[in-house]
A and B are shown apart, each in its own frame.
Chain A
């Protein structure tokens, strides 16, 4: 690791290049806003983009008529209250060790409890860096049941799928995972099928696209005539991605552009796709603020259903109400910005959050709170 930065490069945040991209953006937005007849609204679907935009302080450099809306791409934010309740129910089972990524610790269930609170009440909850750590824990503690809290999109699912495959090969009967996975392309279709949507372009998630490739998004450009650009996460990636969207508006030719071609190939990652197809099948998923929608999620396939924690421990689903006054749902749909919520920054802060968009480190509300608008 010595020597070069591995996950970034100073070039991707070069000030002169950024200034050039911004001055081009200024002209492109002026042209695009004539076509949209007002502001130009792009949605960054992915929570990592939300954070990257906020952390780089670029919002105040954007042309006035450009609006970036946060979409349903933060794994914690889109998990329904009913599924959060299931996670908490699992944590309450005697002898169970809950393993999770850190983001899930502070999401409150319908009774106001979170995994932190469950831990204070005696639950065994451990933060891990990888689901493979949870499998190793199950091997080391054969008399305990180890449950991994699997939530997320096409990016997280293969990693957890890989862990389950390993657990099956090792014959581990004390490892299981939830499969509250959601799919990005059907989520876009959900947004677009709303006649009130005002989205003029999608900044598509780089990591998800590295897995699924470009083809699954084709319908967005063809059926809905909305421009798309798969985009990386460095400041210049984002500026370039926005300009690619603006150019499509100007040319009147929506397509699936690939700004992040250094990581995303048109065909995606075939090995990960094969793993997904083996371990999971498409199923209805329950989305926060949206409800249960056919064909938008992944559950364990027949061959792996023994590893489904919800099945193993027979945890029922109940449609629990979402917190009153919380605008997370509207924010995820691109219909409101965090400061529009009257709880924002007052009743709802990262250390005492009401809605999941404030809890998750990738949530739109957390980004606005932490970095300012």
Chain B
């Protein structure tokens, strides 16, 4: 692999180039067994317990949009990275990079929203940091959150433990966050009340983890479901099949994606997880998810299969099939 020449925007897309950036620069520099699996959170062993540890930075424009704001997303994103590893969140940190001139009232609203999201997740923000940079050196506010959680004894969720025959379940309608933000950012005027799905999923995760046969969960964020499935396929060495018709997408979001030329399978979410479990566990997992406020539209969308090459295949509505790659570059509005 050639060395990284220059950082481009697509290195932050969450897709294949993001992966390459991490592999070329950070994995090389930091290499260690806890980092190596590159999952949503790392497992750190201490005497008598296993911790999950994660960090994430948030740079969204605009900072407020229908359904959520940068603060809610910053708390939920980190809580969810812990939750999908089966961890109970213990504490969060919050670091702020503020641009000179940023509105005090807006900052207070963001902080209050973080508090509400943390209360909902049952976790406290126990430490923080603030830096202010000159006007023009940042875009309003950037937030970094880190989180630490406790993985209960005997629980081990990892993408590499997915087996052939296991099924794939998503916890609800996809692509709402990405479309809501794009609609607000570019004032597209799309109707249908499209809102960000940002939500803490630790409650939902706890409920389904009581069911035996759950092998792994992943937080479906940037790069969308397509990218997450490619990562899992690589980690477990199996082919994954996704049934196009089974993937839940709300009608207004479908319309928005059709209009903009976006594929919902690549659009970001902030309150959805993908779960891998044995086929026997699937009915109970679906029932448990659908009984939870953040899992009402949960659906079984595919399965793991033995294949020569670990890759993701999409079974299309008309009965065809094609390969589903990781996000390449950025998703951009098209010409016609």
Contacts and interface: CB of A to CB of B under 8 A. Distances in A.
Contact of A76 (B193, B254, B329, B335): B335
A103 B322 contact: no
B251 A5 contact: yes
A55 B322 contact: yes
30 contacts: A1-B190, A1-B192, A1-B251, A2-B191, A2-B251, A3-B251, A5-B254, A6-B255, A7-B258, A8-B258, A13-B316, A13-B318, A55-B263, A56-B317, A56-B318, A57-B321, A75-B335, A101-B334, A102-B330, A116-B9, A120-B6, A129-B260, A153-B336, A155-B336, A235-B317, A239-B318, A350-B328, A350-B329, A362-B336, A372-B322
A6 B318 contact: no
The interface size bin for chain A is 35 or more
Given A3-B251, A58-B320, A152 B258 contact: no
B320 A57 contact: yes
A108 interface: no
B101 to A, nearest CB: 20
A365 to B, nearest CB: 12
Interface in A37-73: 48, 54-61
B283 interface: no
A207 B261 CA distance: 15
A183 to B, nearest CB: 15
B255 A5 contact: yes
B186 interface: yes
Given A15-B317, A57-B314, A351-B10, A129 B192 contact: no
A236 interface: yes
A370 interface: yes
B51 interface: no
A7 B259 contact: yes
Interface of A: 1-8, 10, 13-15, 18-19, 48, 54-61, 75-76, 101-106, 116, 120, 127, 129, 151-153, 155-156, 207, 235-236, 239, 349-351, 360-362, 369-372
Given A1-B191, A370-B328, A362 B334 contact: yes
B328 A1 contact: no
Nearest to A105: B332
Contacts of A349: 328
B323 interface: yes
Nearest to A362: B334
Given A116-B8, A370-B328, A61 B17 contact: no
Interface of B is mostly: loop
A237 to B, nearest CB: 11
Contacts of B255: 1, 5-7
A64 to B, nearest CB: 15
Contacts of A369: 325, 328
Contact of B258 (A6, A10, A116, A372): A6
A351 B332 contact: no
A15 B251 contact: no
A153 B336 CA distance: 9
Nearest to A15: B319
Nearest to B318: A18
A214 to B, nearest CB: 20
Q: Which has the most chain A C-beta neighbours within 10 Å: B10, B193, B260, B316? A: B316
Interface in B278-336: 314-323, 325, 328-330, 332-336
B21 to A, nearest CB: 12
Contacts of B8: 116
Contact of A56 (B251, B316, B333): B316
B227 to A, nearest CB: 13
Interface string B1-28: 0000010111000001100000000000
Nearest to A56: B316
B188 interface: yes
A155 to B, nearest CB: 5
A372 B259 CA distance: 24
Q: Of residues B10, B17, B261, B320, which shows the largest number of chain A Cβ atoms within 10 Å of its Cβ?
A: B320
Given A75-B336, A76-B335, A116-B8, A351 B17 contact: yes
Contacts of B333: 101-102, 127, 129
Contact of B332 (A4, A56, A103): A103
B252 interface: yes
A152 B336 contact: yes
Nearest to B261: A361
A2 B320 contact: no
The 6 closest A-B pairs by CB, nearest first: A102-B332, A57-B320, A57-B322, A7-B258, A1-B192, A13-B317
A103 B334 contact: yes
Contact of B335 (A5, A55, A152, A235): A152
A62 to B, nearest CB: 9
Contacts of A236: 318
B320 A370 contact: no
Contacts of A1: 190-192, 251-252, 255-256
Contacts of B329: 106, 350-351
